[in-house]
């Protein structure tokens, strides 16, 4: 496994990461790490590599975009002094362009998304032992769908940012695409965005494979 024993692994992102995690810091007892993929990763790391004693912290916040992450980066990332950091952002950056198309002042367009993510990655990479960037996704098999096309564009930005900043890249969209060959999107997420437990397991599996825990 790429993450060494006794490492502190912090996850940050939007509602897909959040999943009812504890405030102000998502760590500790009684479901503090939330009910989503972060909890599944935490549980499997403990079950498969118990001697590693990986410390998992969830700092996801529902509704966040890349600029929202930037606004809380100091307190919710740097001040926590992670050894490894995982970032999954971009869904809301894209979604607001489609569900609130007239409110252009809240849209995060590709150039802003790219610049913000690259700035955060470049700022943080020297302070951590490992950085993981996870693509945003849209659980829609029709790749010609307008929102799916846009999400793929933002996923490509995340992949390029990972390459530039010596980070691991987790292609969550590809992980969903593989499952969508056998399941309808409605069986994974009613709105194509917020996954059920199957969807969160798909994300967790992609993450664990990327860090060298074959699933």
pLDDT of 138 reads: 98
pLDDT of 215 reads: 86
Other beta carbons within 10 angstroms of residue 51's beta carbon come to 6
Helical ranges in the chain per DSSP H = 15-18, 37-48, 66-76, 91-99, 110-124, 146-164, 172-179, 197-210
Q: What is the pTM of this model?
A: 0.97
In the chain the domains, ranked by start, together with CATH numbers, are 8-210 (3.40.50.1110)
**Residue partners of 201: CB distance under 8 A and separation at least 6:** 37, 40
Q: How far is CA 85 from CA 9, 12, 67, 141, 144, in A?
A: 6, 8, 18, 30, 33
Sites in the chain below the pLDDT cut of 70: none
Question: What are the tokens at 184?
Answer: 């309808």
pLDDT of 162 reads: 98
Q: Return the active site residues.
A: 15, 191, 194
Residue bearing tokens 């007892």: 29
């Amino acid at each position: 496994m790429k993450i060494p024993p006794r490492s502190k692994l912090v996850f940050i992102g939007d509602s897909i990461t959040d999943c009812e995690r504890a405030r102000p810091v998502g760590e500790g007892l009684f479901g503090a790490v939330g009910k989503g993929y972060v909890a599944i990763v935490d549980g499997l790391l403990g079950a498969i590599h118990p001697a590693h004693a990986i410390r998992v912290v969830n700092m996801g916040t529902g509704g966040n975009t890349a600029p929202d992450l930037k606004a809380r980066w100091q307190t919710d990332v740097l001040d926590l002094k992670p050894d490894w950091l995982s970032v999954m952002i971009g869904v809301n950056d894209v979604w607001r362009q489609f569900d609130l198309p007239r409110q252009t002042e809240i849209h995060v367009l590709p150039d802003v998304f790219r610049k913000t993510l690259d700035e955060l990655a470049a700022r943080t990479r020297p302070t951590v032992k490992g950085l993981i960037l996870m693509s945003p996704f849209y659980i829609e098999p029709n790749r010609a769908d307008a929102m799916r096309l846009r999400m793929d564009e933002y996923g490509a930005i995340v992949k390029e940012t990972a390459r530039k900043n010596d980070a691991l890249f987790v292609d969550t969209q590809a992980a969903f695409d593989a499952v969508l060959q056998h399941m309808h999107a409605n069986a994974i997420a009613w709105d194509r965005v917020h996954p059920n437990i199957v969807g969160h397991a798909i994300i967790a599996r992609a993450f664990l494979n990327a860090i060298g825990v074959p699933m």
